[in-house]
Amino acid sequence: MEKTSIYLQIAAYYRQAILDGKLKPGDKLPPVRDLTTEWKCTPGTVQRAYQELVRQGLVISRPGQGTQVVSKPSIVQDTPMHRAALIHRAESFLLEALNSGHTTDEINLAVQTAMDRWRSVEKQPAKPPAQTIRFIGSHDLAITWMASHFSEIVPGYSLQLTFTGSMGGLRTLAEGNADLAGCHLWDQDSSDYNIPFILKLFPNQQMTLVTLAHRRLGLILPVGNPLHIKALQDLVKPEVEFINRQSGSGTRVWLDSQLKKLGIYPAQFKGYANEKVTHSEVAQVIAEGKANAGIGLEASARHFGLDFIFLTRERYDLVFYHETLDQPAIKQFIKWLSSSSARDAIQDLGGYETTETGKFIHLS
């Protein structure tokens, strides 16, 4: 059992290094003999970890050439047998996690968090299936939930997610490579969300915004808040190790404006340059003890059982060209957003307010 734990730890360590870009395509993983010393385990344990990474399509092993990070995931033919094999692997993982004492809700959260990580680094196909709605923009737990239930919301369709941050989503929409963009960009001059940015990026265009929800944003902290952090000013404490959102995200835009108001410079606290693409990743880093303060959603803090200090209430909108409403699938999805079922599902995530969910704003 101990050997199994170690091989999974090794595989997880190098998987994360590949996802974070610390290991690039073509880079070699350390020789087996080096890792046996580093991890104090047998060569068989290291080989099993490498086999797991091969199975996941992250690395390839060749005799005499070692183990290397792949340039791109191998394409496997989609067949019923292939899908059945995937379900078998999923069931094996589920059984292992349940035997380790995790609940089904915890397992579901873990899978969703891992999927969100992939959605922030994976390149989407240039030509998605015809029955696909392309969403690109800021990470959001409600959007993730909708994607996993989309066939129930709009039968016959799927919601393809890519998390790039709010600005990245709007730019991709402007380039014609998305159907919907998700953003929560706060404008300091107008004290309004999203509209000033959309007017600049889409001049003389007829655009529509539909409010997904208002979200509670704040400081995510370890259980018990051991450093007694109460506000942004406390980030300058020397013992604080911060974890940030990436440049271009709505959360980062809001944080930078607040720091400027307070006269706090990024160089005054540790970790400002340490960035994550999703709120779930910020919470995960803090839960693992790798940082002791971050900025993110209350929903993410709740899901990881962490403390949360409320800072602001932000509006998250879905943005699209007005003519997009002519598409039946989009029309059905937006109509569903105005239903009580949508509001109930969003509120169940925690940290969301849905009084304006489904509200339209038309710009021209």
DSSP-derived letter for residue 185 is: P
pLDDT at 57: 81
Q: Which residue has the higher pLDDT, 341 or 106?
A: 341
pLDDT, residue 124, reads 53
Beta strands 242-245 and 293-297, pairing class: parallel
**Strands 180-183, 132-137: pairing kind:** parallel
Check residue 3 and give its pLDDT. 41
| Lookup: tokens for 245 | 């959102």
| Amino acid code (one letter) for 109 | L
What pLDDT score was predicted for residue 23? 87
pLDDT of residue 66: 86
Range in 87-96, 247-256, 326-335 the model is least confident about: 87-96
Residues in the chain: 364
pLDDT of 79 over the 70 cut: no
Q: Taking residues 295-319, report their average pLDDT.
A: 93
Look at residue 292 and tell me whether its pLDDT is greater than 60.
yes
Which among 250, 281, 287, 255 is positioned nearest to 269, based on CA atoms?
255
For the cut 50, the answer to whether the pLDDT of residue 12 exceeds it is: yes
At 208, phi and psi to the nearest 5?
A: -125, 140
At 86, is the pLDDT very low, low, confident or very high (cuts 50, 70, 90)?
low
Residue ranges, comma separated, of all CATH 3.40.190.290 domains in the chain are 123-364
CA distance 180 to 321: 8
What pLDDT is attached to residue 318?
A: 97
Rounded-to-integer distance, Cα 111 and Cα 105, Å:
10
**Dist CA 98 CA 323 (whole Å):** 47
Q: Closest Cα to residue 354, out of 333, 336, 340, 334?
A: 340
pLDDT, residue 359, reads 95
CATH 1.10.10.10 location in the chain = 2-69
CATH 3.90.550.10 holds for 123-364: no
Q: Is the pTM of this model over 0.75?
A: no
Q: What pLDDT, on a 0 to 100 scale, did the predictor assign at position 1? A: 35
Report the CATH fold assignment for 2-69.
Arc Repressor Mutant, subunit A (1.10.10)
Write out pLDDT tens, residues 61-75: 877 778 988 875 554
Q: What is the DSSP letter of 103?
A: -
